[in-house]
Amino acid sequence: MGIKEKIKEILSTKKNVTVDDLKIFLRISKYEKKEFKHILRQMREEGTLDINERGFLTLGERKPLYGVFSETNYNYGFVNTEDGVEYFIPGKDKNGALEGDVVLIEKLDKGPGRTVARVIKVTDRKERYVVCDIKNKNRKMIVTPMGDFDSFIHLQTPPKGRKYKDGKYKVRLLDYDKRKKKYMGEVVEFIGTDDDKYLDLKTLVSEYDLPIDFPEDVIENANFVSREKILPSERVDYRDVFTVTIDGEDAKDFDDAISVEKTGENSYFLYVHIADVSHYVKDGAPLDVEAKKRDFSIYLPGLTIPMLPHVLSNGVCSLNPNEDRYTMSVKMEIRNGGEPKMVSIDKAIINSDYRLTYDGVSELFETGDNADYNDELKEFLMTAREVYNILKSQSEARGTISFMSSEAKFIMDDMNRIVDILPRPQREAEELIEEMMIATNRVVSKKYREMELPFIYRIHEEPTDEKLEGMRTLLRPFGVKVPEKVSAKDIQKLLEDLSEHESFERINDIVLRSMMKANYSDENIGHFALALADYSHFTSPIRRYPDLFIHRIISQKMSNRLTERNIKYFGNKAKEVAEEASNREKQIVDLEREADSLKKCEYMKDRVYEIYDGKVSGITDFGMFVKLPNTVEGLICNEEFMDNYLFDEKEMTAITTHNNKKYEIGTPVRVKVVNVNMNRREIDFMLLEDEDGR
């Protein structure tokens, strides 16, 4: 009789048997302990053996319970099993499980109001990286995990004769030592030393498992292709056409340039020149593999992590002034009362006359003059403005939705420390470029959709019935009726009609939250918010991989190399690229938001106990968020109100019962900064009340 059968026989005849009792009954020698433990573990995993809270063994006939572990900000977690049951996992019973791990669990006695279990083992570890600070002290290596990871990590010994220098490292978690209660890990990347002025941001990027530095083969590839001499052969030559770039003050990579030509009364040619990145980044080359891995350039306060090495992104691909550059140039006819019409799309060469900024051009538009501009440039820009006004009126006529939003402008010193935070308004010059890029993206996607070729579209779905019903419920108190079926025009009119309403910020927020997220797709379903049947991202191939991908398709079509085999290849690839880019975009949006929060916390940590006026920006059951005029946001925790805080989830409002004051998004408040948590990127406010209840 084997050990398993003997265990079953003993447990079927005896009660209250512990592991130690079982060892005695089976006469397990010290040489058999390892095998004995292995058999017990195996039986538990099979579901034929249970151990209760008191440590007694019982026979079980249960089906093994597998599920995915979910972490919380506290020590406990949850596991959702295949049968749809959610199990509560106490901190002491996690057994090294982390977010996303597939685990085998064992059900325990039911706790108050919940089903409790413990993790027996992690069956499929999700790849997990942790940023660690390594310090060498007294011949010992001290490893401190960063952020909210609060477990010990034991690193693999570095190669013989080497040691890790002091600094931050990206560490891959390998396994969990239950006995020592620590994770095993290996260093995969050096992030930087404490004197690196971008260390905080690089650390954050590593926490999101995104690449920073380029591999050597990618740098070599970039250096090689950038040495190619720029020649006009077989390209449309636009070097004698007056051309400018208009970008932000700090921009270094110039994807797009514009030219305008007045052809008659309210009739124009608009040329939009886009960097021909596909000329340099060939499909499957090291540059392409790395660009596809990154998908986008990342813009953080004071730091840009480009999709392409600087020799390309800021060099030969960037449409720098007074330098010949290869472009994909779209010529459009713009007429008052008519939609933009594509005249041609060509491989071209340009030489930009000026590098202009949004602020400089906006100054000209707003005041009628800019002392830094000559007459020729002023005349050109005023013509461009006429084109913009036509495009803007067309946009409004079809129902483009324009939401109120506030972005932050970070003022940094030479060491990338935050000096000030200001709201960044969108001025007219930025809107001008935006409308011209929308027109370009529109005509290009329409042309290639009509040709029925593989493509990647930028899509935005209509709001779901569920989201519309939620919007109706929340807008009802404002006397707003939302029709059963809505168009972009309906939403645009709703926002325009209520733009002077005292609760407009709240209304704007309700409508915005009712919208779907835009993403990429190989299937065209249109763009709801722009009220367009055709839309793509074509105009930023230096910083967006989907743009680069469709440039390749267009280039092959232009050169008559789009064979049936290539069409099939691009068709298969388009779905993959679109899905990956959509997922990566969400990840980068979260990263950029968290980086903004990090710098805002850095700014506010020296302003604890200062008093500010702000407006309520969000309401939850755990408190109210308040946004200051400089875009900094903090939380007034409901604990501040003792038992005087009532949250209405239906109306998304709160009432403080001691003074019967109602709060909604947009309500003015006065707050004091009481705490700044740099690790969690959180700011806590305290509500200050005066005689009027403020």
Half-sphere exposure (Cβ direction) of 477: Cα atoms closer than 13 Å: 12
Task: Return the SS3 of 628.
Answer: coil
Lowest pLDDT segment from 94-108, 259-273, 537-551, 670-684: 94-108
Contact 655, 605 (CB under 8 A): no
| Residue 264 token pair | 């008659």
Q: Nearest CA to 52 among 85, 19, 82, 79?
A: 19
Q: Per-residue confidence at 259, pLDDT binned at 50, 70, 90?
A: very high
Mean pLDDT of 193-214: 93
Domains of the chain: 3-59 (no CATH), 65-124 (2.40.50.140), 128-196 (2.40.50), 216-459+524-595 (no CATH), 465-515 (no CATH), 607-687 (2.40.50.140)
Q: Dump pLDDT digits (tens) for 408-423.
A: 999 999 999 999 999 9
Across-strand partners of 400? none
The pLDDT of residue 693 is 41
Percent of the chain with pLDDT over 70: 97
Whether 647 has a pLDDT exceeding 80, the answer reads yes
Q: Per-residue confidence at 694, pLDDT binned at 50, 70, 90?
A: very low
The pLDDT of residue 564 is 93
Rounded CA separation 309/304 (Å): 11
Which of 152-156, 625-629, 690-694 holds the top average pLDDT? 625-629
Q: Got the DSSP string for 524-542?
A: ---BTTTTBS-----S-TT
Contact 168, 143 (CB under 8 A): no
Range list of β-strands (E), 178-323: 182-192, 236-237, 244-247, 256-264, 267-275, 298-300, 303-305
Mean pLDDT of 47-54: 76
Average pLDDT, the chain: 91
Mean pLDDT of 21-49: 82
Q: Per-residue confidence at 60, pLDDT binned at 50, 70, 90?
A: confident
Q: Per-residue confidence at 1, pLDDT binned at 50, 70, 90?
A: low
Q: Dump pLDDT digits (tens) for 543-569.
A: 999 999 999 999 999 999 999 999 999
The pLDDT of residue 110 is 62
Percent of the chain with pLDDT over 90: 65
Q: Dump pLDDT digits (tens) for 132-183.
A: 999 988 888 899 998 778 789 998 877 766 788 899 999 999 888 877 888 9
C-alpha distance from residue 22 to each of 3, 15, 49, 179 (Å): 11, 11, 13, 21
Task: Return the SS3 of 75.
Answer: coil
* pLDDT greater at residue 364 or residue 128: 364
Angle at CA of residue 217, ends 211 and 220, nearest 5°: 115
Query: What number of other Cβ atoms are within 10 A of residue 390's Cβ?
Result: 21
Specify the residue for token string 């986008």. Answer: 296
Lowest pLDDT segment from 109-113, 289-293, 498-502, 607-611: 109-113
Q: Nearest CA to 48 among 35, 62, 37?
A: 62
590 CB-near residues (< 8 Å, 6+ apart): 208
Across-strand partners of 303? 300
The pTM of this model reads 0.85
Mean pLDDT of 54-66: 77
Whether 4 has a pLDDT exceeding 90, the answer reads no
Continuous segment of H or E residues that includes residue 24? helix 19-26
The pLDDT of residue 141 is 87
Rounded CA separation 563/546 (Å): 21
The pLDDT of residue 61 is 63
Q: Nearest CA to 79 among 66, 95, 64?
A: 66
The pLDDT of residue 481 is 85
